[in-house]
Amino acid sequence: MTTPTASPLNKTVAEARRLFDSGKTRPMEARVGRLRALRAMLAEHQPAFEAALWNDLHKGPGEAQLTEINVTLAEISHTLRHLRRWARPRRAPAPAALWPARARLVSEPLGVVLVIAPWNYPVQLLLNPLVGALAAGNAAVLKPSELAPATSALIARLVPRYFADGAVRVVEGGIPETTELLAQQFDHIVFTGSGTVGRIVMRAAAEHLTPVTLELGGKSPVWFDDDAQLHRAARRLAWAKFTNAGQTCVAPDYVMTTPDRIPALVDALQDAITDMWGINPRTSGDYGRIVDERQFDRLAALLHGTEAAIGGQCDRAERYIAPTVVTVPTLDRPAIGPEAAHPLLREEIFGPILPILAVDSAEQAAQVINGWDKPLALYVFTSRARTRRLFEQHTSSGAVVHDAGLIHVAAAGLPFGGVGASGIGAYHGAYSWRAFSHLKPVLRKPHTMDTLRLAQPPFTRRGLRFVKRLM
């Protein structure tokens, strides 16, 4: 299990393993203590976290609290409230064929969990999986994103103070460091990021037969036909899309509606944007920036030659892209995916550009969704139960949310994860605890009333008949 050479990074992982092997992460009191330490780290340094998020992403304090700090604190509280119940050994049924026997399910930690996080929610997506890993009694190694350097540095500075025994360790860095980390043996890897890197992670994990949770992305669609709730729906849609300047894995990626609804929807989206971020969102303290020039250039290229119905202004020096809405005509080629006619429909946008695609009906929208990779989330704004059922039953996605966007991420009682190309496995709350635990069946068969003899040679016809009946 120990690593072949002794680079500082190998040493970090080896020490985390040694601590785990010492048994110190396992007792319930130790788990609870570590969750409290994590809570204290966030609560005592909230202004520092807000400042780091502002530096990295121009994330205003309100958004930083809501989408990064509070959501992680809520996950910790939820876990502290329920952990003892989740972790209690549970009696399990022993089948009649094995009687007399007793069965229990006992949970045990997996070992050392590696968490690799992206830059877009650099606190939440690093520390939320950590909550589950610690709750399950594991040690952890955290790899924050190098593209959110202020947050990465802050976490690397604070973690050793709050986890002085080394149950949680931080390795900072980019591709070389992550590659080196992935060569080590872990007992579980949680990766949040792109499908391309997800494949690299899974290949590396396969070498050690390490299980993975892959939280990936994709194009999360929206269906809209709720004319009666137009303004409310548009506000929720604009909020879900333009929070963090659209750099959210579950951000609505594109909207589908019928052609007649588009003008009113565009007007309502414009009202909502102005209401939330003002006439000029560039001057709003609540509107984010694109993380770096590379992402800015990618997004600006998507807009090149396209006339925006709303927004469209780009400023490279500030990495600012206005909340932008683009209407896209109906086309006969595959509507989304690499073959799509419009560049905005070929890949995950991951920025503040919202294409509206005209389709004939909800049925056609479902076909569009089913025409490419399964998305991470699907948002349906309709007043018709039949339409809700259509999307729930005839499409597949990580989650479905009706009449809102993003909010399922904050529901600690629900599993959060993708399906197919949008991810493998799920976490949050009990699902995190489950993902980072091994549920071990423990069976006891008393020596007296030795019914096992019936399954042992020499077999008799009567004995076999009896066992068959029991089974």
Distant-in-sequence, close-in-space partners of 8: CB < 8 Å, separation ≥ 6 = none
Residue 370 phi, psi (nearest 5): -75, -10
**Which is nearer to ligand NAD, 179 or 370 (by Cβ)?**
179
Q: Interface mask (CB under 6 A) for ligand NAD, residues 217-246, using x and -?
A: x-----------------------------
Residues 276-305 that bind ligand NAD (CB under 6 A): none
Minimal CB distance residue for ligand NAD: 217
The Cα 184–Cα 148 span in angstroms is: 24
Verify binding: residue 376, ligand NAD, rule CB under 6 A: yes
**Which is nearer to ligand NAD, 311 or 415 (by Cβ)?**
415
**447 SS3 class:** coil
Helices (H) and strands (E) in the chain, counts: 16, 19
Q: Which stretch binds ligand NAD (CB under 6 A): 143-151, 279-287, 314-322, 449-457?
A: 143-151
Verify binding: residue 197, ligand NAD, rule CB under 6 A: yes
Least distance in angstroms from the C-beta of 105 to ligand NAD:
29
Catalytic residue among 249, 339, 348, 392: 249
Which DSSP letter does residue 332 get?
A: S
Nearest to 426, CA basis, from 217, 136, 213:
213
Q: How many residues does the chain have?
A: 471
Verify binding: residue 212, ligand NAD, rule CB under 6 A: no
**Which is nearer to ligand NAD, 179 or 460 (by Cβ)?**
179
Catalytic residue among 215, 339, 363, 392: 215
Is 68 marked active-site? no
Q: Is 208 within 8 Å of 13 (Cβ atoms)?
A: no
The Cα 190–Cα 330 span in angstroms is: 39
Residues 343-362 that bind ligand NAD (CB under 6 A): 348, 350
Residues 73-112 that bind ligand NAD (CB under 6 A): none
Which DSSP letter does residue 420 get?
A: G
Cα of 271 vs its chain's centroid, Å:
31
- Would you call 221 exposed, middle or buried from its count of C-beta atoms within 10 A (0-12, 13-18, 19+)? buried
Verify binding: residue 119, ligand NAD, rule CB under 6 A: yes
Residues interacting with ligand NAD, by CB under 6 A?
116-120, 125, 143, 145-146, 174-175, 178-179, 192-194, 197, 200, 215-217, 249, 348, 350, 376, 418, 423
